[in-house]
Structure formats: structure tokens, C-alpha cells
Structure 1
Amino acid sequence: MSSSKVVLITGTSSGIGLATDVAAARAGWRTVATLRDPDRADALRKAAAEAGVELDVRRLDVVDEASVAAVVDGVVADHGRLDAVVNNAGAGHLGTLENETVADVRAVMEVNFFGVLNVSKAALPHLRATAGRLITVTSVGGVIGQPFNEAYCAAKFAVEGYMESLAPVAASVGVAVSVVEPGAVATEFVNNIGLDLEAEVAAAGPYAPALRAYLDRTVAQFLNGAQTPAEAAGTVIEALTAERPPFRLQTSDWARGFTGTKLTDLDGSAVLGMTGSWVG
């Protein structure tokens, strides 16, 4: 692969984004690592130094259209081209409809859905010029709705639907569109939700028993069955480098089996039977 190819990756302060930055640079890409808060770039810079790779680190807030436009234009001005974008930035959320506001749900959609659209729209003219790739890290929660993740899953469902609809249109002008679906990944993502989980249970009212059951199951899954960020990033690199990348890629056998439940469940009973068991 030519080292002249340029990829822009969002949400790179930790986890999958950080690991993808390092892996892409190792694979010979000129890698533009973006994050909302430059003060959180220490781990990123340390990982790059340990790997012996160089990264172009820039501030980008995906919900700020002016920030997105300035970064994308700046990358093309400085590097001369843009060959790929990896939409990885996102925010976790825990809650259920009766106990939160519609404004809370809108905020989740703003980051996890409209942020992806902001970056993708700004990048597409440049990706057309290079017959490039538009890759979005979604989630198995973009295929199967999960208890107490209504807003988060709605955003990821929206991303999946948008990209699935966009893919043939983008392909007609030479741009390959893919989504990458991780399951549980041992990252700071859950911690970054920023909630006191015990306080959430205490405030859940009639939903407290179901929330407690869900949290016990989820914490156990992250402790015992989570992938490493590097393992998940490997699938992103596959989408980035494959000669003809598929539209949808899962990051593990578990994720393939989990999402497969939905794709063969025509009446929804298998999915609801499974997720219903999570809440007792």
C-alpha cells in the first residue's frame, strides 16, 4: 500500500479509535487522528511513540459543523488528498424513556448519528476524488435493541440504516461504504458514560429490579468476554485495506452470532426472548 494514502479517524483518545490509529499508521497510511479534547491526547501520543509511528493529531468536534469543515479542508490542504474516513467518535448512554427527557435522547442522537453525518458529508467530495472509503464503527446495538439503551441503540440503528441506504449511491461514484459492528470491547467507553450506576438504580423507581439485572449481566460480559481494542481495530483495518470490503463486518465470532440472531428472526420473538432474559 502506498504511504501516500490518507485516513482521518474520529474519536481517538482511547479504545478502538486509538488502536485503529496505530494500526493504520503501521499499515502505511498517513493517519490523521482527531479528538474533541486535545488535553486527552497523551495516551494516543504514547501509543504512537511506542509503536514507532507518526500521527497527525487534530482537534475535531463532530457535532460542530464548522469544526468538521475546517479539519477536513485542512487535511486536504496539508496532505493533498483524503482516501478514507473512519467514523468512530461516539458517546455511551444509559436510560429508559420514562426516566429521562426527550432532550436527553436528542443529545445522544446528535453525537452518535448527526456527528457521523457531519463528518461523512464534509468528506464525501474528497473521497469521490480518490475512490475512497467511508467506514463507520457502529455496534451490535445497531442491529439488536438492548434494554436501557433505547437512545443509544436508536442512534446506532439510524447510522446503520443511513449507511446501508447510502452505500449503493456512494458506490455509483466510486466510494465504498462499510459499517463495523463491535460487541463488548474492553475500553473506557462504559466508564465514559459518566454515571454513578448505583445512584441510577436507586433512582430507577419501578424499573430498578430490571436495571439491576441488566447491569449485573452487562458488567459480567465486559469483565469476562470483552475483546481488546486492538482486536476490534483489526476489523476496521480489514475494511480499510480489503480489495472489495463488505458493507457489514462484525469484530468477533460472538458479534457475528449475536447479530445473526436478528437477521434470522422474522417475527422478533427470538430477540425479545433473549433480551427479556437480561432484565429478569
Structure 2
Amino acid sequence: MTTPKTVLLTGTSSGIGLAAAVATARAGWTTIATMRDTTKAESLLRAAAEHGVADRIQVKRLDVVDHATIAACLDEVIAEHGHLDALVNNAGAAQVGTIEQGSVDDVRTAMEVNFFGVVATTRAALPHLRASRGRVITVTSVGGVVGQPFNEAYCAAKFAVEGFMESLAPVAATVGVDVAVIEPGAVASEFVANLGLDVDALLTAAGPYAPALQAYIARTQQSFGNAQTPAEAAAPIVEALTGDRPAFRIQTSAWAREFVGTKLADCDGSAVQALTGAWVR
């Protein structure tokens, strides 16, 4: 009997991470579903039970900004399963605001979670993935390609992740490890709700940027009303894990492909500025 492959996912308490954990388990993988706070595993475990895959999912603690938890989690996985075949970097945190009204420390926090957390987890997993000739799949965002108003810190971190992974991919390939990034657009998940934004307070604090912020918030609320479901956004993750060597850059919807394509064909930046400038007027 073939030993099931083992995948470790970060940020699985809700949204895309939760859906991806259930989907990988349904695809036959032994799924290590990690999260910073394992008391928030109830939704994942309930979904796993509903889909009949509770026996294939293990919940473990891993905080991407705490290197000791990364090492401890990987040690447990190898001790219990003997191998790691894939890593899915999904954990992240949104941040809304503009730099004059925020602080440099806010930017550092966004980079720590969204960029350095990915770097640290990938670095720790790579020796095991070399041994298994496995894969690193990282959930970025269309915001890792197109800079978006009032998302300066978040987009900067996601741009950094894409640059890191695009640079790593050919090097990792020489030792048998495939690297890919998954770029969702708007996803109807708790990711935005978890920001806990007080819109009125945000607008009051925005000073001269309040009219632009109000326009941006109105546009964003509309876009999330037409968002993908987490399961729809997670499906390409499973395809990237289970298919032949995946493409490096994978969008999760036709809209995301068109949006990213605007940037990739925009040598002087004018098309993107015209597009995103309309969001704040």
C-alpha cells in the first residue's frame, strides 16, 4: 500500500486555509493543519467531519512569527510521519491604512506576518522537501502583483513574497522542489472580518485622506459582495499539489487572471494607476 503524502498548511482556522485543509484531506493527503491558536480549530474539525475526512487531519500549533513553534511542529511531523511532501504557506493578516496616518511599526508588523513568516516556515521545511522532492505552494494575492490603495503595507509584504518565491523557484528546482504561488482575488472569508475595522473611527482618523478612503471602502465592500468562496479559491492549491509540475503563478479565477494580466502587460505603470486611481475617487 502506498504511504499517503503529507502536507503542512499554515493559517487553517478559517477561510482559504480551512478550505484547503479539508480539500487536501479529501484528495487523500495526510493533512497537518496548523494555526497560531489551536482553540480556534472547531470550525475546521466540524468541516472535516462533515466531509468524512476527520481521520486525515491533524491540528498542530504553529505561529509563523515564532520560530520555535515552526521547528517544534516540523519535528513532530517528521517524528510521526517520517516525511513531509508539501508546504502550503497560507497564514497572513490584512492591514488597511496609509503610511502618513499609520506608523513604520505597523508596516514592520505586516512584513513580519506576511513575509518573514513565509520565509521562516519555508526555510525550515526545505530540507524535508528536498528529501521528498516535494513542493512549496504559497498563497499570495493579486495584491502581490498589483499595488492597491490603502494596502501599502500588505501589498509590500505580498510583493516581497512573490519576489522571494520567484527567485527561489529555479534554485529549488535544481534539488527537486517545485515552487508556486497562488493569487486569489476577493474571497468571501473571515480574512477581512478579522481586521475588526471600525470604519467610522478609521474615516475620522484619516484626515485629508478620508474622502479617498471612503471611496475605497465602498468599492471594496462591493467587490467582496461578488467574491469567490474559500473552497473555490482553495481548489487551485490542491491542483498545484497533485498535478504535474505546476506553473509558478496561478490565479484562482478569471477575474484574478485579468487583473494580474493588466499589471504584467503594463510596462510604464499607467494602466494600473488609471485602474486603481478610480477606486479612490
Give the TM-score taking structure 1 as reference length.
0.98
SS state at 2:161 partner? helix
1:39 and 2:39 correspond:
yes
| Aligned counterparts, 1:81-120, within 5 A | 81-120=83-122
Q: Name the % identity.
A: 67
Deviations 1:236-262 (A, max 9, x none): 111111111110100000000000000
SS state at 1:180 partner? strand
User: Where does residue 195 of structure 2 map in the other structure?
Assistant: 193
User: Where does residue 270 of structure 1 map in the other structure?
Assistant: 271
Do the aligned residues in 2 keep the contact of 1:262 with 1:271 (CA within 8 Å)? Answer: yes
Instruction: For 2:232 and 2:211, locate their aligned partners in 1 and report how far apart those are by CA, in whole Å.
Output: 34
User: Where does residue 65 of structure 2 map in the other structure?
Assistant: 63
SS state at 1:193 partner? coil
SS state at 1:62 partner? coil
Deviations 1:133-162 (A, max 9, x none): 000000000000000000000000000000
Q: Please, which moves more after superposition, 107-116 or 1-10?
A: 1-10
Instruction: For 2:15 and 2:3, locate their aligned partners in 1 and report how far apart those are by CA, in whole Å.
Output: 24
Deviation at 1:198, TM superposition (A): 1.7
1:243 and 2:244 correspond:
yes
Instruction: For 1:100 and 1:257, locate their aligned partners in 2 and report how far apart those are by CA, in whole Å.
Output: 31
Instruction: For 2:23 and 2:193, locate their aligned partners in 1 and report how far apart those are by CA, in whole Å.
Output: 24
Give the direction of change, closer, same or farther, for the CA distance of 1:2–1:214 in structure 2 (3 Å limit). farther
| Aligned counterparts, 1:129-168, within 5 A | 129-168=131-170
Do the aligned residues in 2 keep the contact of 1:185 with 1:222 (CA within 8 Å)? Answer: yes
Query: What letter matches 1:52 in structure 2?
Result: G
Deviations 1:207-250 (A, max 9, x none): 00000000000001101x20000000001111111111110100
Deviations 1:70-117 (A, max 9, x none): 101110111110000000000010010100110010000000000001
Query: Mind listing any 5+ residue stretches in structure 2 that lack a counterpart?
Result: none
Q: Give aligned pairs, total.
A: 279
Instruction: For 1:110 and 1:29, locate their aligned partners in 2 and report how far apart those are by CA, in whole Å.
Output: 29
Instruction: For 1:194 and 1:67, locate their aligned partners in 2 and report how far apart those are by CA, in whole Å.
Output: 26
User: Where does residue 213 of structure 1 map in the other structure?
Assistant: 215
Query: Mind listing any 5+ residue stretches in structure 1 that lack a counterpart?
Result: none
Instruction: For 1:238 and 1:256, locate their aligned partners in 2 and report how far apart those are by CA, in whole Å.
Output: 17
Q: Which runs of 4+ in 1 moved over 2 A?
A: none
Instruction: For 1:138 and 1:169, locate their aligned partners in 2 and report how far apart those are by CA, in whole Å.
Output: 20
Deviation at 1:194, TM superposition (A): 2.1
Instruction: For 2:238 and 2:200, locate their aligned partners in 1 and report how far apart those are by CA, in whole Å.
Output: 37
Superposed CA RMSD = 0.9
Do the aligned residues in 2 keep the contact of 1:140 with 1:255 (CA within 8 Å)? Answer: yes
Deviation at 1:2, TM superposition (A): 4.7
Query: What letter matches 1:70 in structure 2?
Result: A
Instruction: For 2:102 and 2:157, locate their aligned partners in 1 and report how far apart those are by CA, in whole Å.
Output: 16
Query: What letter matches 1:277 in structure 2?
Result: A
Deviation at 1:3, TM superposition (A): 5.0
Instruction: For 1:193 and 1:90, locate their aligned partners in 2 and report how far apart those are by CA, in whole Å.
Output: 11
SS state at 1:11 partner? coil
Query: What letter matches 1:189 in structure 2?
Result: F
Q: Please, which moves more after superposition, 114-123 or 192-201?
A: 192-201
Deviations 1:38-96 (A, max 9, x none): 11110001000001002110011000011101101110111110000000000010010
User: Where does residue 12 of structure 1 map in the other structure?
Assistant: 12
Give the TM-score taking structure 2 as reference length.
0.98
Instruction: For 1:180 and 1:2, locate their aligned partners in 2 and report how far apart those are by CA, in whole Å.
Output: 28
SS state at 2:244 partner? coil
User: Where does residue 21 of structure 1 map in the other structure?
Assistant: 21
